[in-house]
Structure 1
Amino acid sequence: MKVLIIEDEARIANRLERITRSYFEENLSAITICDSLQKGLSYIENNPIDLLLLDLNLNGENGFDVLESVVAGSFHTIIVSAYTEKAITAFSYGVLDFVPKPFDQERLETAFKRITTTTKSIEKNINFLAVKKAGTVRLIDISELHYIKGAGIYSELHLRNGRQELHDKSLEKLQQLLPDTFERIHKSYLISLVQAERILIQPGGRYGLLLKNGEVLPVGRSRYKDLKEKMI
């Protein structure tokens, strides 16, 4: 686990570092603190990270000015901020959690637990995904998603208009962020159940899912039973 903390108050940054080290222990390979937005962005551009802890107010700089670029990265973002009225907006950008200041160790560790589990949370209010392309960021409303296909460490977003976009987050990470209406039907496919028509039983004991647009996606044998119950 490689962690970056962007926080301009040294006392809070050191506390975040201490709790992070305590929680991840031997699973933590590197932790870096940047005290300004520009230093943080420069670090992200030149170094791979798995988790970003981001304050929204850094010496007057607004974290939302760059949040679109941040959430398009192949890492999770946890906001740590006193601006609790910004929480709903932050979740709509796809952040994993919003930890309000002042915070205690238990609350921060609760946010960390969301990284290590795929358990769905009823608190997720993500409205769109950010796709970074040619130096720009495009926000895609999740209602535009037809299904998502895993492509290694990336994911292919298949949109209802027939277009495809490549997302920097893996299928596993997107599954953690997206609402409960999205279901993992196969190791390589994640779909919104509102797009599903019915389950097909195919030759050879295989299963498929017929979508409303006529496409058929494979259904993993281990996922067939749960999917069948959710579609009743």
Structure 2
Amino acid sequence: MNTLTVALVDDEPLALRLLKSMLEEFKDLEIVACCRNGREALQAVFDSAPDLLILDVQMPGMNGFEVVRRLQGDTMPLIVFTTAYDRYALKAFDVHAVDYVLKPLDSRRLQTALERVRQRLQQTHLAQDRNCLGEKGRLLNSIADAGPQGGLSGESALAQSFSHRLAIKDRGTIIMVNQQDIEWIDAAGDYMCVHVKGETHVMRSTIKDLQKQLCPDNFKRIHRSTLVNLNCITHIKVLTKGEYFLTLTSGAKVKVSRNYRQPIKEFLDSNHTTQQTASKAS
């Protein structure tokens, strides 16, 4: 099993020493930094690029959520939050933390969190391997298929091949994601979280720039920080005040704000018209 590199962050020296001593019991884990504040945490991620950041929520100056917002997408480690208060749990998962461990810390609970981290890393590595091995062959095949008979030059075919994919840079590797597999995308600070078949890929971009790379017929902005793939909507719940809750194919639920409800209204109207036409035809 590969060694898991970890940076620890807690403003309380006693809590930091306790966490370090508990994690030292895990032989397949390497502690690369112990940080006492958010500034030190950002520097540790920049210097060491750890796999995991175990991060206290409440810290003076810069709390744990602010640390996550300031991290750049291409250096983003997995996050496990620690805190004495459970009221932050929902917000922790909103920023896509792997786990949320309450204090006082327990070795068994920490072990569960580390197992979840390893599962997430394994899923990411498998996806990267599949994309890296298969991309060159798919690209060459698409160029060959669109040769003289297809009427496209190699350069045009290359551009077309990438038009339905999104390139995501993750720790020195570029992952090519099929746009049709993307369910939704949300912004978190200076990076975007791209949700694909139960996995979350992180990339550095603004929502405006990212939207330009996506098919405008399929991807609509439903919130100032959220894009959704219309083809992945399975249920729409109409709320008061003109808002909606969307359920997607993975079961994820996203909210449509009033200021961005028009695309969903048009989506509902078009589907209603289609159903009426099909009913008349039958």
TM-score w.r.t. length of structure 1: 0.52
Q: Residue 153 of structure 1 aligns with which residue?
A: 173
Equivalent residues of 1:153, 1:168 under 8 A apart: no
Q: Residue 33 of structure 2 aligns with which residue?
A: 32
% of aligned pairs identical? Answer: 23
Select the structure that is richer in helix: 2
Equivalent residues of 1:5, 1:52 under 8 A apart: yes
Q: Residue 103 of structure 1 aligns with which residue?
A: 105
Q: Residue 182 of structure 1 aligns with which residue?
A: none
Select the structure that is richer in strand: 1
Q: Using the alignment, how far apart are the partners of 1:2 and 1:168 within structure 2?
A: 24
Evaluate the alpha carbon distance shift between residue 93 and residue 113 of structure 1 in structure 2; reply closer, same or farther with a 3 A threshold: same
Tell me the CA shift for residue 50 of structure 1.
0.6
Tell me the CA shift for residue 175 of structure 1.
5.1
Q: Does 1:68 align with 2:88?
A: no
Evaluate the alpha carbon distance shift between residue 32 and residue 92 of structure 1 in structure 2; reply closer, same or farther with a 3 A threshold: same
Equivalent residues of 1:147, 1:158 under 8 A apart: yes
Aligned partner of 1:21 among 19, 24, 37: 24
Query: Which aligned segments of 4 or more residues in structure 1 are displaced greater than 4 angstroms?
Result: 146-152, 156-160, 174-178
Q: Using the alignment, how far apart are the partners of 1:148 and 1:81 within structure 2?
A: 36
Equivalent residues of 1:154, 1:168 under 8 A apart: no
Q: Using the alignment, how far apart are the partners of 1:168 and 1:20 within structure 2?
A: 31
Letter in 2 for 1:155: I
Larger Rg: 2
CA offsets 1:89-139 (integer angstroms, 9 cap, x no match): 1101111000011221111111111022259xxxxxxxxxxxxxxxxxxxx
Aligned partner of 2:80 among 70, 78, 82: 78
Tell me the CA shift for residue 64 of structure 1.
1.8
Q: Residue 205 of structure 2 aligns with which residue?
A: none
1:115 partner SS: helix
Equivalent residues of 1:2, 1:31 under 8 A apart: yes
Q: Using the alignment, how far apart are the partners of 1:147 and 1:90 within structure 2?
A: 29
Equivalent residues of 2:8, 2:31 under 8 A apart: no
Q: How many residues align?
A: 151
Equivalent residues of 1:118, 1:175 under 8 A apart: no
Letter in 2 for 1:20: L
Letter in 2 for 1:153: T
TM-score w.r.t. length of structure 2: 0.43
Q: Using the alignment, how far apart are the partners of 2:52 and 2:8 within structure 1?
A: 9
Worse-matched range after superposition: 86-95 or 11-20 = 11-20
1:99 partner SS: strand
Q: Does 1:56 align with 2:76?
A: no
Q: Using the alignment, how far apart are the partners of 1:48 and 1:66 within structure 2?
A: 15
- Structure 2's unaligned 5+ residue stretches are 122-163, 186-190, 202-228, 234-282
